[in-house]
Amino acid sequence: MSSSLLRAAVRGPSTTFFRANAVVAARTQPLAARVGLVAPSLLAVSTNTSSFSTTTRVRSEHKEETFEEFSARYEKEFDGVQDVFELQRNLNNAFAYDLVPSPEVIAAALKAARRVNDFPTAVRIFEGIKAKTQNKKQYQEYLDELKPLREEFGIELVEDLYPEKPEH
């Protein structure tokens, strides 16, 4: 073993140029604290947490909601939309459920699309309705209910723009 390595080991950690303790401490902090986005004192870093767990923590603050509560919630969400991202996020969430949103929710979504000037999303809302409805009769009922709003906004349906060619 060389004598310089032995001297470094006997002296202990150097405090002049390289602070090993500060580097190790910085690596244990979350990235947001290291970059300065969040004050380190605001982050509670637990050092005794395990990477694996044998139990599953399932906590849900959501209760079962009725269709009317669902409709009221999404109408309110669409009324508060201020940009295209919010509009599309709310549409994805509304259409993710195993139900077709009510015509009132669709009307609120169309008004939000008009407010943020997003015509393609307005057209795609009707494509989503067509995909979610169970049959042509149900889809036609939605079209009939939303026809005045569709005409007011000038929204053409994809099936009107590109009619299917008859099979020969």
Each domain of the chain, given as residue ranges in start order, spans 3-42, 67-161
Model confidence over 71-104: pLDDT tens digits?
999 999 999 999 999 999 999 999 998 899 999 9
Phi, psi of 14, deg, nearest 5: -80, 140
Q: Could you tell me which residues come within 8 angstroms of residue 119 by beta carbon, excluding any fewer than 6 positions away? A: 113, 155
pLDDT in tens, 31-76: 555 555 555 554 554 455 545 445 555 555 667 889 999 999 999 9
The hierarchical CATH code for the domain 67-161 is: 1.25.40.40
| Confidence band, pLDDT 50/70/90 cuts, at residue 128 | very high
What is the rounded average pLDDT of the residues 115-137? 93
